[in-house]
């Protein structure tokens, strides 16, 4: 389902390239869950950005659901990402001007049948314990509550691949419930979590 081969990533800096990821290969099958662990600054978020097709690798290949996303044109890549990937960002990246419910629904706005997702959004918000906060703005939420909104948003389109960048640190929410067995839709086909030196991995 997900195949990574010979992936490398470096960033140019004034003092020469910063080599972050070197020659990484692995694959995940349907139903697999995996954790990436390493110290701060070791490249965990960078790897997840590449798998989430938000950042291109310097070398190597990513194949998800039989598709080579980095070979797609920008518009097709955006559509592919929207359809197949759910991303819980380390800093949640919620839209500040939108309500909690609107944030969860944001990935569905390009759909013709966007209205059909409202019930699922409310259900996901219920699962993360925030249904009664659906009209709040992100600024009115705690850090952990923002992360829980981000979890619901990541699941709204039933992604094939759920990428979780240190999602349970502040939220107090085990991912097993939402990532593993969400009601109103199938579980994501595969999940990848990042964590710091200690494991926050919940195989759910």
Residues at the interface with Mg ion (CB under 5 A): 44-45, 90
Contact between 169 and ligand ATP by CB under 6 A: the answer reads: no
182, 154 contact by CB (below 8 A): no
Residue 13 or residue 73: which is nearer to ligand ATP going by CB?
13
Which residues make Cβ contacts (< 8 Å) with residue 121, sequence separation at least 6?
Answer: 101, 104, 105, 108, 152, 156
Contact between 92 and ligand ATP by CB under 6 A: the answer reads: no
At closest approach, how far in Å is the CB of 200 from Mg ion? Answer: 12
Candidate segments 39-47, 77-85, 106-114, 184-192, binder of ligand ATP by CB under 6 A: 39-47
For residues 90 and 189, what is the distance between their CA atoms, to the nearest angstrom? 21
Residue 44 or residue 146: which is nearer to Mg ion going by CB?
44
Residue 13 or residue 66: which is nearer to ligand ATP going by CB?
13
Helix ranges restricted to H, 54-131:
74-84, 100-105, 118-127
At closest approach, how far in Å is the CB of 45 from Mg ion? Answer: 3
Contact between 19 and ligand ATP by CB under 6 A: the answer reads: no
Q: What three-state secondary structure class fits 26?
A: strand
The backbone torsions φ and ψ at residue 125, rounded to the nearest 5 degrees and listed phi first, read -65, -35
Contact between 168 and ligand ATP by CB under 6 A: the answer reads: no
């Amino acid at each position: 389902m997900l195949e990574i081969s010979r992936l490398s990533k470096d960033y140019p800096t004034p003092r020469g390239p910063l080599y972050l990821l070197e020659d990484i290969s692995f694959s995940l099958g349907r139903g697999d869950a995996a954790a990436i662990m390493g110290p701060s600054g070791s490249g965990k978020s960078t790897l997840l950005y590449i798998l989430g097709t938000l950042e291109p690798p310097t070398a190597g290949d990513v194949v998800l659901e039989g598709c080579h996303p980095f070979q797609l044109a920008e518009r097709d890549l955006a559509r592919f990402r929207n359809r197949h990937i759910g991303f819980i960002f380390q800093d949640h990246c919620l839209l500040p001007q939108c309500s909690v419910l609107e944030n969860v629904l944001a990935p569905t706005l390009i759909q013709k049948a966007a209205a059909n997702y409202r019930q699922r959004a409310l259900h996901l918000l219920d699962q993360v314990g925030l249904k009664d906060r659906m009209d709040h703005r992100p600024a009115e939420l705690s850090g952990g509550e923002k992360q829980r909104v981000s979890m619901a948003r990541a699941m709204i389109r039933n992604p094939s691949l759920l990428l979780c960048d240190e999602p349970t640190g502040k939220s107090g929410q085990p991912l097993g419930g939402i990532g593993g067995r969400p009601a109103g839709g199938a579980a994501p086909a595969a999940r990848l979590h990042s964590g710091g030196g200690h494991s926050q991995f919940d195989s759910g």
